[in-house]
Structure formats: C-alpha cells, structure tokens
Amino acid sequence: MTPVAHESGKSRPSSTAAVCKVGLVGFGTVGSAVARLLCARSDELHLRITHIFARNPQRRKVDWMTGDVCWTDNFDAVLASDVEVIVELIGGLEPAHDWVRRALQAGKSVVTANKQLIAHRGSELLELARAQKKHLAFGACVAGGVPVLAGLHEGLAGDRLVKVCGILNGTCNYILTRIEQSGSTFGDALEEAQAAGFAEADASEDVDGFDARAKLVVLARVGLNAAVAPQQVLCRSIRELSHVDFDYARELGCTIRQVARAEVHGGTLFAAVEPTVVPQNSRLASASGSHNLVVSTGEFGGDTVFAGHGAGGNPTAVAVVSDLLYMVRHRSGGIAEPDRPEASPYEVSHDFETPHYLRFVVKDEPGIIAGLAGVLSRHRINIDAVFQRPGHQLASLPFVITLEACTTSRAEAALAEMNQFAFLVQPPLRMPILR
C-alpha cells in the first residue's frame, strides 16, 4: 500500500491499492465492533470483510453489513475462501489454536486478540508464521486499545528493556477501586462489577490473576524477548483483601493494586501477578476503575508509560484494525514478512527481594508481637514498623507489620511457621510493597 500526500498533511491510502479480503471468526462484542469500525471507515481503508464465522449465523446477521458478505458456521468455508487474513476473536485455547494453525498452514495471515492463545501457543504459532512467510499479529491481546505491544516492539526497539509492570486487568482494578472508595467487601464489589458489565458471572480468571498472567507472558515475550510459560509465573488472588487493608495502606502513603511485573536480572526472569502495595505517587496508583496501565523500563531510555481503556468492544476493535493496517502496509506481493526475533529462555522465579506488608487478624492476648518477632528473627527478617488501628473487637483484631526488604521465599517461610500460633483468627495476608 502506497500512501499519498494531501494538502491537509495527512497520508491516505492510494485509491489504486488492492483491497485486502478479511475473514472474521467470531461475532461477539469485539467481532461486531471490528465489523462496525471497518464499515464506518470503508471509504478510507482498503480492508473488506467477505466472510464471517459465527455460531447461529442466521440469528447473528445484521442489516448494516453489506449483503455480499458470506455468513457461515463452518470454519472450513472461511479457510477455503480467498480471504488473505483471518481475524480470530473466539477466545480460549481450542478450537482457536487448531484454527489459527490451519489458517497459517493454508497461507493466510492471522490477527488475533486471544491472549491465552498467544501466552500458551505463541512461540509455536510465530515459528509457523515465520516458516510460511505469513504474519501473526496480536496487538489487541494486552490492554485492549492501548498500543502497548506495538510501542514495545517498534517504538522502543532502540532500547534494551529490562522490566515491564502494570495494571493489566480492568475487572480487578474496578473491584479494588470500589473497595477503596466505598468500603465495600470484596463480595459486594464483585457483584457491583458484574452488574456493571465489568466482570463475568464466573470472574475467577480475573480475580485470581490468570487473565493478567497471560497478558504478562505476552508482554515479557514482546518487551523483554523472554520465553516463559504461564504456569511458570506466580499468580495470587485478590479475594482475601478487605477495606482494612486499604486503611493501613493509606497510613503507609500507599494504595493496593493487582500488579503484574516481570524483570530480567542476569539469566533470571522474575515474574509474578499479585495484589501489591503501591505508593500513592506511583504511576500504577493512578490507574483507577477499569483502566489499564503499563510501565516499561529501558536500560537507556528509562520509564515509558502506556495507559488507557484496557477492555471493551470499541477499544479492542481499534487494536485489531490497527494490526490489520500494519499487516497490509508491510506486505509485499501479498506477504507480510514476520520480523519478531525468537524469544530467549530464562530461568523463571518469583523470589523478588522487596519490603513486605503482613496483615494479621488475631484474638488479642499478651505476647503476640513477641511471638511473631521471634519467628521473623529466626528467618533473619527485620521489622520496619507495626500498625494497629483502634476501634476493632479484641476477638478479631487486625494489625499490620511491615518488613524491611527480604526475598519472597524467606517471607513465605516465616508466614508458614507463624500459622501454628493459636491466637490467629485467620491466616496472615502477605503483599509485596513496591518501591
């Protein structure tokens, strides 16, 4: 595609450029938004949907699509057509993995928003795309309409990135923001998120960290060139958090977010997704509601921040169509040359060295602090501070101990030993404190 200059200073596609035929697989929230966007910009973009795969296609048909589009519930019909690019938006691992693999083998390029697919099968599919001289684009996999993957891959290609961290799940961020602002319980905040359409009926993928973990794996691959499997990354839930944790975090000048982070140190990739205490002046603390935010750190360029709406049909559709346009611009004779380097294998660890927040709920009695301090001393861990807010019942008394920097493994070993104490009303809660 050759851009031509106009008096407005903008670059528009040449009117003689060949139209790229697109097969859309999936017509849910994102799929329909992609179709609407392409219809709305049909006079500007040389992209035309010719086939749409959808379950119950007769019920899915819409009057705003052109009448020459082939609607089908048979993927093989899309595969056998003359479409150049297949856009996969059904989600999940299967049959998405099989269909994307077959599409590449059949000589089609692929655009996907499927984070689980890229996290679990990305290396295999990228190798296949490279062998077939086809393109596999997945910019919509992380942070929806925020162009973080393109920014890391292209905009920061001159730097050597050593760290990526961020708020990658809008559902979790919405829930935590509501607990902080309204004093809701986790259960009430989750129900509110479900009623508002931010959370599924089964929100386990979100609140237990699996959604953010898949996105972190993709970020690590693109930003840090690190080959890591999702099951190698520590994943911890936000279910145990309560409003009292935000009260204590506020005393520390902090708030709480579900933070996904990956850092390279030597030959080790440190990676985890977990609730984290973050300073109020941190960029991560500024992400509220359902917004996403990613901070990359380069050896030469320092920090770069990407932020915006991380979910929803329209923002994700923008990312999908941007991938389509990138693919069309870089094709040569119909072929887009893959240009992503092969990821490097790393030893993977979650043993960050960091300060820690420990929240206890106890039945008040003499000697509690002495007992806990004794355990910490045996594990060579220093106490930074002790906080106890007034106004709680002595039979269920929450208080917090913050620790000086130590490895996660030492903090967890100390907590395992503390669990023997009879004065504990519930197991202690540990969170890293981001510096």
Q: Predicted confidence band at 120 (pLDDT cuts at 50, 70, 90)?
A: very high
Which one of 115, 133, 215, 363 is the catalytic residue?
215
Task: 379-385: list long-range contacts, CB under 8 Å, 24+ apart.
Answer: 379/406, 379/410, 379/411, 379/413, 379/414, 379/417, 380/406, 380/410, 381/406, 381/410, 381/411, 381/414, 382/406, 384/355
3-state secondary structure of 240: coil
Between residues 419 and 7, which one has the greater pLDDT? 419
* Residues above pLDDT 70, as percent of the chain: 93
Kindly report which listed range (1-5, 8-12, 345-349) carries the lowest average pLDDT score.
1-5
User: What is the reported pLDDT for 342?
Assistant: 67
List phi, psi (to 5°) of 349: -140, 155
245 vs 406: CA distance, rounded Å: 21
> Which CATH code of 3.40.50.300, 3.30.465.10, 3.30.420.40, 3.30.70.260 fits the domain covering 353-432?
3.30.70.260
How many other C-beta atoms are found inside a 10 Å radius of the C-beta of residue 93? 13
220 vs 110: CA distance, rounded Å: 21
Q: Predicted confidence band at 13 (pLDDT cuts at 50, 70, 90)?
A: very low
Q: What is the pLDDT of residues 227-243, one digit of tens each?
A: 999 999 999 999 999 99
Closest CA relative to residue 148, chosen from 231, 59, 219: 219
Mean pLDDT of 300-319: 86
- Chain mean pLDDT for the chain: 89
Per-residue pLDDT at 311 exceeds 70: no
Judge: domain 148-309, CATH 3.40.190.80. no
Q: What is the pLDDT of residues 179-198, one digit of tens each?
A: 999 888 999 999 988 887 77
Q: Predicted confidence band at 12 (pLDDT cuts at 50, 70, 90)?
A: very low
Architecture of domain 3-137+314-343: 3-Layer(aba) Sandwich (3.40)
| Helix (DSSP H) and strand (DSSP E) numbers for the chain | 14, 23
4 vs 237: CA distance, rounded Å: 51
Q: Is 10 a catalytic residue?
A: no
Q: Predicted confidence band at 3 (pLDDT cuts at 50, 70, 90)?
A: very low
* Domain ranges for the chain: 3-137+314-343, 148-309, 353-432
CB-CB contact of 170 with 197 (8 Å): no
Between residues 30 and 8, which one has the greater pLDDT? 30
Mean pLDDT of 310-322: 84
